[in-house]
């Protein structure tokens, strides 16, 4: 039976009145107050409750408390045991989750239940729902300027060992033997005892970790032969073919080995292995990035604020508006448009997006422009400095060339569909000192410079990149690196405690929510401090305060002079703070 308590329900008596005013203020100003006031009621308990019966069975844990605990677990990067302890004893958690009653039903959850609830929430994809609702709420509360955003990716690792090719082979064989022995004992007896001894006994398995570099090639070939031998031996057994560990063996053969028609096998060269090949049998969803290694990557898009000087305004909230978990082998070039479309659906779409060169391909810029978004990014690739390129020419607004780098104008200008053709006088081009590096080609009548509309757009982008205006605009992209650092330092996102694409996505998205909450708390406190300073500037004059001080000293007497501060009534709608010696 589902148990749901509306967090907006008012109490007849304040259940938190046992807290002193100072402690209550500390909770309200920190993340517990923000979470309790603005986030707790956004948790998608209605979707979560569909998994449980509503009219029979033992009552579940309160749904808001469960989902809130899952968010806070990723916020503070806690294990399941640590999460259970925090939920049981930490008053910050109780205040954030609005748990006022002292009972095991309210403040205790066993690790198994917590694990099960997280698994169910992961399968439902509730992490994305919570992130979207939270981002929209914070953008509304803090009036975030979403017109300017930036995007980048960060590499993360799941809880898996870093295995070489020999480790992948031996680990796959070992997992297959464990499952075969457990589920099909009669077939297990048909396995060669020598193979069992080699890959199942502990002392035998350890020998693979001490292989000398000079022997590694031979040992790898022997292990590959044993693996292929197992695949062939059990390929006719339907019950074995349905085993997940056997399918992994088949995948290893397909990705790592070349099998000839006569049955001989050869280990593929490292350069022939695809980046999406199996990296570890414990996490089959992880892939490989040639620059950052095994694991996953997270695409993060956030708002940013321009400011003068070296110090930004702490009252402004830089909000993460989009987060997406991908395999490590995927290119950043394919991430920009899905990010823009996702923010459009959430009404958080930008007007301009800053990104590095991988995101800023010509196709991405054109498609983003159709969605109403300008992409500020350097053009892909680099030009040879010793050569004259198309970006060194001066262009007219209609796309034709005005002048070449030597200052000559074309005699003939033509355009056919999407191709431009510019004809220059042959005598001038042949005598030009830049002729050897010029992109012009000799024709029947002229020296021609031919280019497409795409080449024209890229040339104009390269020209714009050299201007101070572009450098001033693009300087704000570097700030996203600080976000990636905070993402890891605050939540431990780069080394997760889970394996598999869905659990990794759940953890990474929840940790992005934590970054938004942490930034929102900082912005909220900065605004409150600024408000207090403004009130101090508009407070009564010093002479009036001194007069109040003298009158209070005469009226209160010596008994109450031990109290350092007194708060007077609200004559003008403000509190006056008067110090009495």
pLDDT band at 7 (very low <50, low <70, confident <90, very high): confident
Closest among 228, 239, 235, 234 to 266, alpha carbons compared: 228
pTM to 2 decimal places? 0.85
Checking if the pLDDT of 204 tops 60, the result is: no
Share of the chain above pLDDT 90, in %: 55
Residues whose CB falls within 8 Å of the CB of residue 100, separated by 6 or more in sequence, listed in order: 11, 15, 16, 94
Q: What is the pLDDT of residue 557?
A: 58
pLDDT band at 382 (very low <50, low <70, confident <90, very high): confident
247-281 confidence digits (pLDDT tens): 999 999 999 999 888 878 888 888 888 888 888 88
Give the residue, 213 or 532, on which the prediction is more confident: 532
Four-CA torsion 319, 321, 327, 329, nearest 10 degrees: -80
Asked whether the CA dihedral 208, 214, 215, 221 is positive or negative, the reply is positive
Checking if the pLDDT of 289 tops 80, the result is: yes
User: How many Cβ atoms sit within 10 Å of the Cβ of residue 77?
Assistant: 19
Which residue ranges make up each domain of the chain?
A: 1-124, 165-272, 390-456, 542-579
| Mean pLDDT, residues 374-403 taken together | 86
Residue 134: exposure state from Cβ atoms within 10 A (0-12, 13-18, ≥19): buried
- In 30-110, which residue ranges form alpha helices assigned H by DSSP? 31-34, 45-49, 63-76, 80-89, 91-96, 104-107
For the range 464-472, what are the long-range contacts, defined as Cβ-Cβ under 8 Å and sequence gap of 24 or more?
465/378, 465/379, 470/376
Closest among 450, 444, 396 to 422, alpha carbons compared: 450
CA separation for the pair 517, 40 (Å, rounded): 12
167 alpha-carbon distance from chain centroid: 29
Which stretch of DSSP H or E encloses residue 149? strand 148-156
Buried b (16+ CB within 10 A) or exposed e, 430-464: eebeeeeebbbeeeeebbbbebeeebbebbebbbe
Residue 295: exposure state from Cβ atoms within 10 A (0-12, 13-18, ≥19): buried
93-106 confidence digits (pLDDT tens): 999 999 988 889 99
Report phi then psi at 210, rounded to 5: -110, 30
465-487 confidence digits (pLDDT tens): 999 999 999 999 999 999 999 99
Q: HEC string of 474-521? A: HHHHHHHHHHHHHHHHHHCCCECCCCCHHHHHHHHHHHHHHHHHHHHH
Instruction: Assign residue 40 a region (left: φ > 0; alpha: ψ between -120 and 50; beta: otherwise).
Output: alpha
Per the DSSP assignment, residues forming a β-bridge with 157 are: 495
482-532 confidence digits (pLDDT tens): 999 999 999 999 999 999 999 999 999 999 999 999 999 999 999 988 888
CA separation for the pair 449, 108 (Å, rounded): 75
Query: Is residue 520 a contact partner of residue 142, using CB atoms and an 8 Å limit?
Result: yes
Q: Which of 8-22, 43-57, 211-225 has the lowest mean pLDDT?
A: 211-225
Query: Is residue 328 a contact partner of residue 286, using CB atoms and an 8 Å limit?
Result: yes
Per the DSSP assignment, residues forming a β-bridge with 416 are: 419
Q: What is the pLDDT of residue 24?
A: 92
Q: Which of 128-137, 275-284, 437-446 has the highest mean pLDDT?
A: 128-137
Between the alpha carbon of residue 196 and those of residues 175, 189, 241, 242, 420, the distances in Å are 12, 10, 20, 21, 70
| Mean pLDDT, residues 525-549 taken together | 69
pLDDT band at 540 (very low <50, low <70, confident <90, very high): low
Give the residue, 12 or 299, on which the prediction is more confident: 299
Checking if the pLDDT of 541 tops 70, the result is: no
Q: What is the pLDDT of residue 385?
A: 65
76 alpha-carbon distance from chain centroid: 17
Which stretch of DSSP H or E encloses residue 468? helix 468-474
């Amino acid at each position: 039976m589902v148990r749901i308590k509306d967090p907006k329900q008012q109490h007849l008596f304040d259940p938190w009145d046992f807290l002193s005013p100072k402690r209550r203020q500390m909770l309200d100003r920190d993340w517990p107050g923000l979470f309790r006031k603005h986030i707790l009621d956004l948790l998608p308990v209605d979707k979560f409750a569909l998994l449980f019966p509503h009219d029979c069975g033992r009552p579940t844990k309160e749904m808001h408390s469960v989902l809130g605990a899952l968010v806070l677990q990723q916020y503070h990067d806690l294990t399941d045991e640590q999460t259970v302890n925090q939920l049981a004893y930490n008053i910050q958690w109780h205040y954030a989750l609005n748990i006022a009653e002292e009972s095991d039903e309210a403040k205790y959850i066993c690790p198994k239940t917590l694990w099960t609830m997280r698994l169910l929430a992961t399968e439902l994809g509730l992490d994305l729902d919570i992130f979207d609702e939270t981002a929209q709420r914070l953008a509304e509360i803090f009036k975030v300027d979403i017109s300017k955003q930036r995007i980048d990716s960060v590499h993360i690792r799941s809880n898996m060992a870093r295995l070489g090719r020999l480790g992948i082979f031996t680990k796959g064989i070992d997992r297959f033997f464990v499952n075969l022995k457990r589920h099909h004992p009669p077939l297990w007896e048909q396995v060669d005892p020598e193979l069992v001894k080699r890959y199942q006994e502990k002392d035998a398995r350890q020998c693979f970790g001490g292989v000398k570099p000079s022997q590694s090639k031979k040992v790898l070939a022997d292990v590959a032969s044993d693996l292929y031998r197992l695949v062939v031996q059990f390929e006719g057994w339907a019950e074995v073919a349905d085993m997940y560990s056997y399918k992994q063996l088949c995948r290893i053969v397909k990705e790592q080995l070349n099998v000839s028609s006569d049955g001989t096998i050869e280990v593929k060269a490292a350069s022939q292995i695809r980046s999406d090949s199996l990296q570890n049998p414990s996490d089959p969803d992880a892939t490989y990035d040639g620059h950052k290694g095994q694991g996953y990557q997270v695409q993060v898009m956030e708002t940013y604020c321009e400011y003068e000087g070296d110090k930004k305004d702490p009252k402004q909230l830089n909000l993460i508006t989009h987060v997406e978990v991908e395999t490590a082998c995927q290119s950043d070039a394919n991430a920009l448009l899905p990010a823009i479309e996702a923010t459009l659906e959430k009404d958080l779409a930008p007007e301009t997006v800053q990104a590095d060169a991988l995101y800023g391909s010509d196709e991405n810029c054109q498609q983003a422009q159709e969605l109403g978004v300008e992409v500020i990014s350097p053009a892909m690739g680099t030009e040879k400095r010793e050569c004259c390129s198309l970006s060194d020419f001066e262009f007219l607004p209609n796309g034709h060339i005005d002048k070449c780098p030597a200052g000559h104008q074309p005699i003939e200008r033509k355009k056919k569909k999407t191709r431009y053709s510019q004809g220059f006088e042959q005598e001038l081009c042949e005598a030009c000192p830049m002729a050897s590096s010029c992109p012009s080609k000799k024709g029947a009548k002229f020296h021609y410079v031919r280019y497409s509309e795409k080449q024209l757009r890229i040339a104009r982008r390269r020209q714009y990149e050299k201007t101070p205006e572009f450098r001033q605009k693009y300087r704000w992209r570097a700030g996203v690196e600080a976000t990636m650092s905070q993402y890891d330092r605050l939540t431990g996102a780069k080394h997760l405690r889970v394996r598999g694409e869905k659990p990794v996505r759940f953890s990474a998205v929840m940790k992005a929510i934590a970054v938004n909450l942490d930034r929102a708390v900082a912005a909220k406190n900065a605004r409150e401090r600024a408000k207090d300073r403004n009130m101090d500037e508009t407070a009564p004059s010093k002479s009036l305060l001194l007069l109040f001080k003298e009158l209070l000293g005469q009226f209160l007497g010596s008994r109450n002079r031990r109290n350092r501060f007194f708060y007077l009534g609200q004559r003008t709608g403000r509190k006056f703070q008067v110090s009495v010696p």
